[in-house]
């Protein structure tokens, strides 16, 4: 995983804050409540330009809204009929889609005077100065956004996102609150990307939100979730910790009395010209209306289920082809180049960029009730998958040597292994279970990259997130949580598998130079390192991708490398790392009957 430096997230901003809404005449009454809350939290030091995209708002309603202007709050209505009519001929949309759904995608083209804008849905209440949201520095990201909680927390819609769109549930954003980088939208022709995409595949579950997530994938700056507090969050937040409330989906306080933060909506509604009408709407919302909401939700669930089951869904048609960027021959050639240039710690295959993993995204110790259930199910599915691999001769373990070195461990330990195939993790799981430590109720956790946790879709994404994995993070607060979990796990005499080479090179047989992170963790927690090196040889079975022979694995479990209480942290770290490398080197030379050499000019060194 590459740890790219993130741009500085907050910057000094312009005094002018452009804010966009998209509404029709029937939604004016709700929009006015949102606007009232926004205006009540403005500052005299800023000018707020409220832009309302529409095609049919009556003069009467426009006048009502315009009466809310203040010296530093201007309100402009933009009839976009002409622009939309010009777009229509380019779009192959089904009849039941309204182009108004897609307004936010066209803002950058319609308003070239803006480099950055805010877009807000009208079912929102703003509780802080919106200028603070505008302060985020997007860099080259297309949007600033917050995760969609329904996608993240609901298994059906999570599966839809991952299996239909090819987007991890943790990387799918809610498009109701956006900072839009208009400059990047124009530069990268996002409008044209959308037109091409919408003419290729029609999404019915979240419509424009699905398109935006595909177009903006890996181009999202994740912002403070307080700016989009959604109704489907598991826990209610203290009101003083919230910047913006989003009454999304069917959770409307003008329909139901038991909606979270409903009193906040009515507080601002009482200050608008539509207060009495909103009260009447609430009072007259009857059982048939509620049944219609329920039916609408069931229809969405049915649509998501249908899309998941289709073999010709978007991800199966386009996502897989994009994900296989290199042939095996190209990967092997790239490995040769990387070895010659000494770039041993860089992955040769181009994984998608991941998003920043925040502390609230991860339950390292599996203490949340749903974490335990998902983990139990994930291990059951993973065991089925491994059995299938073995049955089909896609995973062949010829021999395990030195298993007693694992069996006899009576402390927690860092386990190291060379990394050459995605399936080597399954092989390590089998070694752990055969050691007998599994029956002793001692667990083996595995450290993975942030990208693998946040961006892997579908089956493997589910396994990555739920089979006792410990993802690294580019977020310092999350890394503190990670290191704390590591300490607790090792103190409780469990094991942690780490690939200290840092990179995965397909079927690369040599040990690569080691990074010190794994050994530093062992030294800090005063536990041994268990070095494991997997050697391989060609089998007669040619079922691997591109016609290469499946490899037969010999798993070599070395003797534990002990922590020495007479050495300091640095001495322990370096000694265990160098010893680990020498163990691997000896296994390599003994098995392959050749000295370990590299094609790079200078011999590679372990990290110091």
Q: At what angle do helices 28-40 and 275-284 cross, to 10 degrees?
A: 130
Q: Single out the residue of 156, 103, 454 nearest to residue 297, CA to CA.
A: 156
| pLDDT at residue 1, rounded to an integer | 33
pLDDT at position 6: 41
Sign of CA dihedral 183, 187, 188, 192: positive
Residue-range domains of the chain with CATH: 16-309 (3.90.550.10), 362-592 (3.40.1130.10)
Q: Quick: pLDDT tens for 542-553.
A: 754 457 899 999
Whole-angstrom distance, CA of residue 550 vs CA of residue 396: 8
Q: Two tokens at 316?
A: 């199966």
pLDDT on residue 567: 97
How many whole angstroms separate alpha carbon 439 and alpha carbon 379?
15
Residue 237, pLDDT score = 94
Q: What pLDDT score does 316 carry?
A: 67
How are beta strands 495-498 and 529-538 bridged, if at all?
unpaired
**Alpha-carbon separation of residue 530 from 407, 499, 519, 588 (angstroms):** 11, 12, 10, 17
With both helix axes pointing from N to C terminus, report the angle between 569-592 and 517-525 in degrees, rounded to the nearest 10: 130
Q: How open is the CA angle 379-384-389, to the nearest 5 degrees?
A: 120
- Compute the chain's Rg from CA coordinates: 28
Q: pLDDT value at position 89?
A: 64
Instruction: Tokens for 239, please give them.
Output: 């009101």
Residue 374: φ, ψ to 5°: -65, -40
Strand 413-417 relative to strand 529-538, pairing: parallel
Percent helix, strand, coil in the chain, to 5, is 45, 15, 40
pTM reported for the whole predicted model: 0.69
C-alpha 469/C-alpha 507 separation (Å) is 23
What is the rounded CA–CA span in Å between residue 431 and residue 64? 71
Residue ranges in the chain whose pLDDT is less than 50: 1-7, 93-97, 320-324, 544-545
| Token pair of 221 as six digits | 């700056």
329 C-beta neighbours (distance < 10 Å), count: 11
Nearest to 524 by CA among 366, 416, 412, 449: 412
HSE, side-chain direction, 13 A CA sphere, residue 251 = 18
Q: Retrieve residue 484's tokens.
A: 């704390």
**Spatial CA neighbour of 20 closest among 34, 3, 8:** 34
DSSP 205: S
């Amino acid at each position: 995983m590459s740890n790219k430096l993130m741009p500085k997230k907050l910057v000094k901003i312009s005094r002018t804050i452009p804010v966009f809404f998209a509404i029709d005449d029937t939604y004016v009454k709700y929009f006015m409540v949102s606007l009232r809350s926004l205006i009540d939290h403005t500052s005299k030091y800023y000018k707020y330009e409220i832009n309302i995209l529409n095609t049919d708002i009556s003069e009467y309603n426009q006048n009502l809204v315009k009466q809310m202007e203040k010296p530093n709050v201007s309100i402009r209505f933009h009839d976009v009929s002409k622009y939309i009519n010009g777009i229509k001929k380019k779009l192959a949309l089904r009849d039941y889609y309204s182009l108004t759904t897609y307004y936010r995608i066209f803002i950058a083209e319609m308003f070239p005077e803006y480099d950055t804008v805010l877009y807000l849905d009208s079912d929102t209440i703003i509780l802080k100065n919106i200028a603070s949201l505008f302060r985020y520095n997007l860099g080259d990201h297309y949007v600033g956004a917050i995760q969609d909680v329904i996608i993240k927390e609901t298994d059906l819609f999570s599966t839809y996102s991952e299996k239909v769109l090819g987007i991890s549930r943790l990387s799918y954003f809610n498009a109701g609150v956006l900072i839009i980088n208009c400059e990047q939208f124009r530069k990268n022709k996002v409008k044209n990307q959308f037109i091409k995409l919408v003419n290729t595949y029609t999404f019915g579950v979240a419509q424009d939100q699905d398109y935006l997530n595909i177009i903006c994938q890996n181009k999202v700056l994740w912002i403070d979730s307080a700016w989009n507090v959604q109704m489907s969050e598991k826990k209610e937040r203290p009101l003083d910790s919230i910047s913006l409330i989003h009454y999304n989906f069917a959770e409307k306080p003008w329909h139901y009395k038991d909606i979270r933060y409903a009193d906040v909506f009515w507080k601002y509604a009482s200050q608008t010209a539509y207060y009495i009408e909103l009260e009447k709407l609430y009072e007259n919302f009857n059982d048939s209306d509620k049944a219609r909401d329920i039916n609408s939700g069931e229809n969405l669930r049915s649509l998501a289920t249908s899309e998941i089951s289709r073999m010709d869904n978007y991800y199966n048609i386009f996502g897989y082809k994009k994900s296989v960027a290199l042939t095996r021959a190209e990967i092997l050639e790239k490995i040769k180049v990387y070895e010659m240039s000494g770039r041993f710690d860089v992955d040769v295959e181009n994984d998608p960029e991941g998003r920043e993993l925040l502390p609230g995204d991860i339950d390292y110790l599996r203490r949340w009730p749903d974490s335990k259930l998902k983990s139990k199910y994930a291990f059951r599915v993973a065991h089925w998958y491994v059995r299938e691999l073995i049955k089909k001769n896609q995973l062949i373990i010829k021999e395990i040597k030195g298993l007693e070195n694992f069996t006899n461990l009576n402390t927690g330990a860092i386990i190291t292994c060379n990394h050459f195939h995605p399936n080597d993790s399954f092989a390590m799981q089998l070694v752990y279970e055969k050691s007998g430590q599994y029956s002793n109720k001692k667990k083996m956790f595995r450290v993975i990259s942030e990208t693998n946790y946040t961006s892997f879709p579908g089956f493997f994404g589910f396994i990555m997130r739920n089979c006792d994995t410990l993802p690294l993070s580019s977020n310092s607060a999350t890394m503190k949580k990670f290191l704390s979990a590591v300490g607790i796990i090792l103190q409780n005499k469990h094991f942690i598998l780490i690939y200290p080479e840092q990179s995965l090179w397909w079927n690369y047989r040599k040990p690569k130079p080691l990074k010190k992170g794994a050994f530093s963790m062992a030294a800090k927690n005063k536990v041994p390192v268990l070095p494991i090196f997997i050697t391989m040889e060609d089998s007669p079975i040619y079922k691997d991708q591109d016609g290469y022979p499946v490899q037969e694995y010999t798993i070599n479990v070395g003797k534990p490398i002990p922590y020495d209480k007479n050495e300091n942290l640095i001495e322990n770290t370096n000694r265990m790392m160098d010893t680990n490398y020498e163990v691997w080197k000896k296994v390599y030379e003994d098995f392959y009957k050749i000295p370990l050499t590299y094609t790079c000019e200078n011999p590679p060194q372990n990290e110091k």
